[in-house]
Structure 1
Amino acid sequence: MIPLPQTAALVAASADSTSAGVADGIAQWAIQVMEALGPIGAGLIVFLENVFPPIPSEVILPLAGFTASQGSFTIAEAILWTTLGSIVGAFVLYGLGRWLGHDRTVWLAARIPFVDPDDIVRTVAWFGRHGKKAVFFGRMLPIFRSLISIPAGIEKMNMLVFGLLTAAGSLIWNSIFVVAGFLLGENWGVVLQYADVLKYVVIAGVAVLVTWWVVRTVQRNRARKRERELDLTR
């Protein structure tokens, strides 16, 4: 295992070569937490990332993999604890949405400058139609992966379903970045160069799936309508 000061220095050098000062500062802080608390520290940071979206998972997750590559803990522990952190963080915001409820959320939105309460109503209505897909795929989109938990709570989505979808989406996203950081080792910062590309791939994939679902639904509805018309003419 590389001692803490040397590990922090390696992280700082990697971050400087691929990103600006903010990522550098977060990286040094994160590696110290993970070296001190082990995989639990990785889970704690990911929990905070879910509750406070400005903390970028694209930095934290590769760092967890990098720290695992130094022998601080295993890659399996890194994936397990970061996924648990994602799930617990998601349930905190789910609980917030459930406590607020629909009416209270709209009431609060009406009192926040530049926020249109109608947008909240439309968002909740949209979630009512696409909630399961939104929770699963939303775990792979920055900021959205945290905020999607709130309308899930507002709509009182089944907690077991919410937890399973959150776990599945988070496991996929976390594993990609943790494994990349583990394999790249000291060059973990290379992941940051491709994080945006990966996000666009996910967005494109979601768009394709949503389009397919809409087309399939329209075709099915038309088929049912034709069947009803044929029944009336018989």
Structure 2
Amino acid sequence: MEALGGPGAAIAIALENIFPPIPSEVILPLAGFTASQGGMNLGAAIAWTTLGSVVGALVLYGLGALLGRDRMRAIAAWMPLVKVSDIDRTEAWFRRHGVKAVFFGRMVPIFRSFISIPAGIERMRLTTFLAFTTLGSLIWNTVFVLAGYLLGESWWLVEEYASVFSRGVAVAIVLAVGVFVAVRLRAARLRRRDRRDGGHRAP
């Protein structure tokens, strides 16, 4: 950011969207701090980081469009514990709530990157995707850039508190996956037991 200014912030945020382990909770406040030190204009910092967010989201949207429904179903059929009907239910949910998912997903760690992939798979209208991705990203980026700008040398406090939220989201995801796996394993055991008991009762 010091070397490239606003475009450097855009590149960093675009990469953060494509590779979620790079935390926006660090990049955005740092962009705000850089603006507070005169390294770039505050409005430019918000505009450039939002542009980077949209570019990164478009890359993942394109990946989802390239993957497509048929390949997604083939992957589901190959994966253990996952059913093609899960994909059908997910698609139905996304058709009903896709716009809200894209908008609010841009403000949730981890989801803010991956929400672009199902949007691409479902071929959400590109203008709609861009509009709500831009709006959600603008809100998220403005909050964090402003926090870094106002805190100045203490910009790192933003990441410290935001990481609590990020860890909470990660824990919720892990728990949800754990529950999903446990339910599917139990259902598979019950089916095997029913088949075995039915075989024993057969004449």
Place the TM-score, normalised by the shorter chain, in its bin: 0.7 to 0.9
Which residue is 1:175 aligned to?
142
Q: Is the CA contact 1:109–1:120 (under 8 Å) kept in the aligned structure 2?
A: yes
Alpha-carbon spacing, 1:116–1:191, altered in 2? closer, same or farther (3 Å): farther
Any unmatched runs of 5+ in structure 1?
1-33, 201-234
CA apart distance, 1:124: 2.3
Q: Is the CA contact 1:47–1:86 (under 8 Å) kept in the aligned structure 2?
A: yes
Instruction: Determine if the alignment matches structure 1 residue 143 to structure 2 residue 95.
Output: no
Alpha-carbon spacing, 1:160–1:70, altered in 2? closer, same or farther (3 Å): same
Which residue is 2:30 aligned to?
63
Instruction: Determine if the alignment matches structure 1 residue 88 to structure 2 residue 19.
Output: no
Instruction: Determine if the alignment matches structure 1 residue 128 to structure 2 residue 79.
Output: no
CA distance in 1, matches of 2:24, 2:84: 30
Post-superposition Cα deviations, 1:85-126, rounded to whole Å, max 9, x if no partner, equal 000111111111111111111212444566555443332221
Task: For 2:10, give the aligned amino acid.
Answer: G
CA distance in 2, matches of 1:68, 1:56: 19
Query: What secondary structure is seen at the aligned counterpart in 1 of 2:49?
Result: helix
Q: Is the CA contact 2:34–2:149 (under 8 Å) kept in the aligned structure 1?
A: yes
Q: Is the CA contact 2:10–2:52 (under 8 Å) kept in the aligned structure 1?
A: yes
CA distance in 1, matches of 2:138, 2:124: 20
Which residue is 2:188 aligned to?
none
Which residue is 2:184 aligned to?
none
CA distance in 2, matches of 1:93, 1:137: 17
Q: Is the CA contact 1:68–1:182 (under 8 Å) kept in the aligned structure 2?
A: yes
Post-superposition Cα deviations, 1:186-212, rounded to whole Å, max 9, x if no partner, equal 100111233156679xxxxxxxxxxxx
Post-superposition Cα deviations, 1:162-185, rounded to whole Å, max 9, x if no partner, equal 100000000000000000001111
Task: For 2:104, give the aligned amino acid.
Answer: F
Post-superposition Cα deviations, 1:42-63, rounded to whole Å, max 9, x if no partner, equal 0001000111111111111101
Which residue is 2:75 aligned to?
108
Task: For 1:88, give the aligned amino acid.
Answer: V
Task: For 2:47, give the aligned amino acid.
Answer: L
Q: Is the CA contact 1:51–1:146 (under 8 Å) kept in the aligned structure 2?
A: yes
Please give the residue correspondences for 1:1-234 in structure 2 after superposition, counting only pairs within 5 Å.
Answer: 34-112=1-79, 117-196=84-163
Which residue is 1:15 aligned to?
none
Query: What secondary structure is seen at the aligned counterpart in 1 of 2:21?
Result: coil
Any unmatched runs of 5+ in structure 2?
168-203
Compute the TM-score of the two structures, normalised by the length of structure 2.
Answer: 0.76
Q: Is the CA contact 1:140–1:199 (under 8 Å) kept in the aligned structure 2?
A: no
Post-superposition Cα deviations, 1:15-36, rounded to whole Å, max 9, x if no partner, equal xxxxxxxxxxxxxxxxxxx111
